[in-house]
Chain A
């Protein structure tokens, strides 16, 4: 595999010395994702308190937070 440029068999597709192998799983963007990656600010401090917003919009706020921070939906990925 170290020098194989392109190999196609009934069971697998291999390209570029194993850089792309059909039996290997790769992470990729997806509209039907396994999970969402955070792609921006997701925590805020205000009034001495803290707010955390997950990549899917779940909010955890402590008792003293007095801001109005809301994050955006993260980037969906799957393998």
Chain B
């Protein structure tokens, strides 16, 4: 199928379209004609600003117990223990909070995701973004089982605002 390169000097509109497309309608309504568009200057494309590939070392998280002594006998029971920590992945220095995509191997990661589990103990991670850097937020909880230390690799794509 042929391709059409359309350029309009008056308003700066540029488009690369499939041949045979209704040119006027596709130029004016790109979102309604995406299947015929390879590029349209009216669409907001995510452009890569930075890329980080970082190994994060998470420390061990111990399970804890509480105890009480009554009539000479000691009773011990497990208590839930939890905490939050942050780990920097890198500085993007864009001055605003950019769109970012986080992934491990070929898994894109969204929201909170588990990186370690042992019985009822769980370590979750999520991506944090501020005006200067991207970082990992660790939320962990232990109950009965401790969580061993672990090294996890994260890759982050940081995109410029359109």
Residues of A within 8 A of B (CB): 3, 5-6, 15-17, 19-20, 24-27, 33-38, 42, 50, 52, 54-56, 58, 60, 62-64, 74, 77, 79
Contact = CB atoms under 8 A, between A and B. Distances in A.
17 contacts: A5-B8, A15-B39, A16-B41, A19-B14, A24-B47, A25-B48, A26-B45, A34-B103, A35-B101, A38-B109, A38-B110, A52-B114, A54-B109, A56-B106, A58-B107, A64-B120, A74-B108
A16 B47 contact: no
B105 interface: yes
B102 to A, nearest CB: 9
DSSP majority for the B interface? Answer: strand
Contact of A24 (B8, B48, B119): B48
B46 A27 contact: yes
Contacts of B119: 62-63
B95 interface: no
Contacts of A25: 47-48
Contact of A16 (B13, B46, B159): B13
B41 A52 contact: no
Interface residues on B, range: 20 to 34
A56 B107 contact: yes
A60 B117 contact: yes
B47 A37 contact: no
Contacts of A56: 105-107
Given A20-B14, A56-B105, 20 more contacts: A3-B12, A6-B7, A15-B41, A16-B12, A16-B13, A16-B14, A16-B41, A19-B162, A26-B46, A27-B157, A33-B106, A34-B106, A35-B103, A35-B105, A35-B108, A35-B155, A36-B107, A38-B110, A50-B114, A52-B113
